[in-house]
Amino acid sequence: MKTYSGVRTASGCAVTVTDTHGCRSLDLRFDLRTHSPDGFEWGYGGSGPAQLALALAADVLGDDDAVLGIYQRLKFRVVGRLPADGWTLTAEELADTIRTLQATGGE
């Protein structure tokens, strides 16, 4: 099972991905779009949360075109509501939410 975890550190927000291959930092995916050159954030609807939603959707979906059509809605539905002090999400939870957003077109 793949999990994503976010924590606040002295140098900013860090997001890791843990799966059967180990643990790695989540790629910011600036190659798709740069919302926040300062990196990830969560808990509100700004540019840092947009960068996180983009990166999470890209990692879960593996389809860059699909990511661009869904990440802003994922930001409002999930990332903007994450607790400030830290969080963990599974790839399955994110995939379920993304499928719902794609099916309903809702925020």
Model pLDDT, residue 79:
98
Model pLDDT, residue 37:
84
Model pLDDT, residue 36:
84
Model pLDDT, residue 27:
96
What are the contacts of 63-67 at 24+ separation with CB within 8 A?
A: 64/32, 66/102, 67/29, 67/32
What are the boundaries of each domain within the chain? 3-102
Q: Would you give per-residue pLDDT tens digits along the chain (107 residues)?
A: 899 999 999 989 999 999 999 999 999 999 999 888 889 999 999 999 999 999 999 999 999 999 999 999 999 999 999 999 999 999 999 999 999 999 987 54
pTM attached to this predicted model: 0.94
